[in-house]
Amino acid sequence: MSDLASIAKTRKWAHARLLALKSKVYAAFLDLEEAAYSDGALSRMHKELVAVGISVTTDCESCMQWHIEQAAEAGATQAQVLEAIEVAMEMGGGRATVPARFALRVMEDVFGG
């Protein structure tokens, strides 16, 4: 299993497990997530692109994978996701180029080579 598939599998397992355990904190987090990513002054797509950039600067691989997938699902193009990653590299400096490599792999998985 590839590391991308493994990350997604672990994320799905944890989601199901927290729901099964009736985690009040996780339920509140899901409500927060729904409110944060719903269309408003910014569309869901634009909010997902913001999250892609934050995910790169915080070096969260699972977050990068999730938000790149969600951005694409919300209508973002490969070029738009790339620009979000590029902004993150500028904001994060040379250090941010390391997680950007992972984000590029996710982009390839989501959008194709």
Residue 84: Cβ within 10 Å count: 23
If you average pLDDT over every residue of the chain, what do you get? 97
pLDDT at 2: 76
3-111 belongs to CATH 3.30.1360.70: no
Amino acid at 8: A
- The per-residue pLDDT for range 56-88, each reduced to its tens digit, is 999 999 999 999 999 999 999 999 999 999 999
Please work out, in degrees rounded to the nearest 5, the angle formed at the alpha carbon of residue 83 by the alpha carbons of 62 and 32.
45
Read off the pLDDT band of 1 (50, 70, 90).
low
Question: Is 70 exceeded by the pLDDT of residue 25?
Answer: yes
Domain boundaries, the chain: 3-111
pTM equals 0.93
